[in-house]
Structure 1
Amino acid sequence: MRISPAIGLSLLVLIVGSTGVLGSDFKRQANSFQAPSQPNFLSEFRFGLSAQDPWGAGGRDSSANLTGEILFAKPFTASDLFTSYFIPRPHVGGSLNFDDRTSFAYAGLSWTIDVTPNVFVEGSFGGAIHNGKESSHPLSDRQALSCSPLFRESGSVGVRLSANWSVMATIEHLSDGGTCSDENRGLTNVGARVGYSF
């Protein structure tokens, strides 16, 4: 059986076209089998040093802390920048004292506001558990921090060095807010931290 050139050309176009369609279907199916991208729950990691209670009572020398903090992604996003400033990032962190004075772990919420594209301010609020003593004792170097957990507030001013790196100055305060009956003069630390955004 002889096939005319017109029919042969038509069959060739049909085969090539079908191959293209099948190829695109195969690519779509292959892409559908790829592992979905994992959501990024981590937003930022921070570490630094702070001076513990530099204005401490009794003229005692201040000591140093090693600090670390993890900030998680916002639970949801807003369509406009202004509203997004009111959506906090959850955080967890800790402060480890080098001189066996008061150390603590904390968790809470952080609100970060851009002043310029490179400068930002931040406020945090949450709670902290600590190993401080519950009342004053002349032989102890740990602060009289009353009950545990305590409230923790902090404020920071930072500068973004790049898309991922930033530096910030931070002041934080731990107190019972008058909710405990024992003595509590609070604990205030000041320091500097480096942040890496994911």
Structure 2
Amino acid sequence: MHNNSNTVSKMPFFALGLFIALSLISQPVSAETKALNSGIDSFTFGIMQQDVESNPIEDSISINLEVLFATKLKSLPWSPHPVIGATINTDNDTNQLYGGMAWQYDFSERFFTEIFLGGAIHDGEEDPDTPLAGNREAHRAYGCPLNFRESLSFGWRLSSQYSLMATVSHMSNASLCDENDGLTNAGIRVSRRY
């Protein structure tokens, strides 16, 4: 059972994130825009199914927003890009704010893969909630407020500006804390390159 007051308090954050995402994706690319966003390589917006484990506890939908910055290390293999992002849950389950590095590898002009490694701060439970019927927990327990986060995407470039990506992400503490349920999400994302 979700707390309605918490859901209401998270709605402005969700609405603002959705507005920013739609604004950035639909914005025409002009010389002014390129100059303004010179440090940004791409912006990604997606819909993720939360908790895709075999016995989901947080069975809900999340919105994913991500900014991939231009790389300063073009001489290194796969050219790592700094990334910041957020996963905003629509049903009062766990939200994440994350950062790290992403590496892209092109299979061809159209198809590529992206690997992300970094860390995430979340607002989920650190210890298990009171068990529900059938010994299920109300939420997953993540043990620490800061967890590791990694993701794998397979992408298809629709044009020079837009890509479609199938993504799986995972957050856990690698057993560094007592509880380590972890959280795995999967979904579809659209990337807009500037």
Q: Which residue of the partner structure matches residue 104 of structure 1?
A: 96
Q: Which residue of the partner structure matches residue 185 of structure 1?
A: 181
Q: Which residue of the partner structure matches residue 155 of structure 2?
A: 158
Distance 1:39 1:192, change over 3 A: closer
Distance 1:75 1:187, change over 3 A: same
2:72 is the counterpart of 1:75: yes
TM-score, with structure 1 as normaliser: 0.73
Residues 107-141 of structure 1, C-alpha deviations (whole Å, 9 max, x = no match)? 00000000011000110100000011111112664
| Matched-pair identity in % | 38
User: Cα distance, 1:77 vs. partner?
Assistant: 2.2
Give the number of the structure whose alpha-carbon radius of gyration is greater. 1
Q: How does 1:22-171 map to 2 (within 5 A)?
A: 40-55=38-53, 57=55, 60=57, 62-78=59-75, 83-85=76-78, 87-137=79-129, 138=131, 141-171=138-168
Amino acid at match of 2:179: E
Distance 1:56 1:129, change over 3 A: farther
Where does the alignment leave 5 or more consecutive residues of structure 2 unmatched? 1-34
Counterpart-to-counterpart distance in 1, 2:156 and 2:58: 30
Distance 1:84 1:119, change over 3 A: same
Q: Residues 71 and 82 of structure 2 are in contact (CA less than 8 Å); yes or no, is this contact kept in structure 1?
A: yes
Return 135-144 or 62-71, whichever deviates more: 135-144
Residues 49-69 of structure 1, C-alpha deviations (whole Å, 9 max, x = no match)? 001112254x54610001100
Compute the RMSD of aligned alpha carbons. Answer: 1.8
Counterpart-to-counterpart distance in 2, 1:61 and 1:73: 34
TM-score, with structure 2 as normaliser: 0.75
Where does the alignment leave 5 or more consecutive residues of structure 1 unmatched? 1-36
Task: Give the aligned length.
Answer: 155
2:191 is the counterpart of 1:195: yes
SS in structure 2 at match of 1:152: strand
Q: Residues 93 and 107 of structure 1 are in contact (CA less than 8 Å); yes or no, is this contact kept in structure 2?
A: yes
Q: Runs of at least 4 residues of structure 1 off by over 4 A? A: none
Counterpart-to-counterpart distance in 2, 1:163 and 1:84: 22
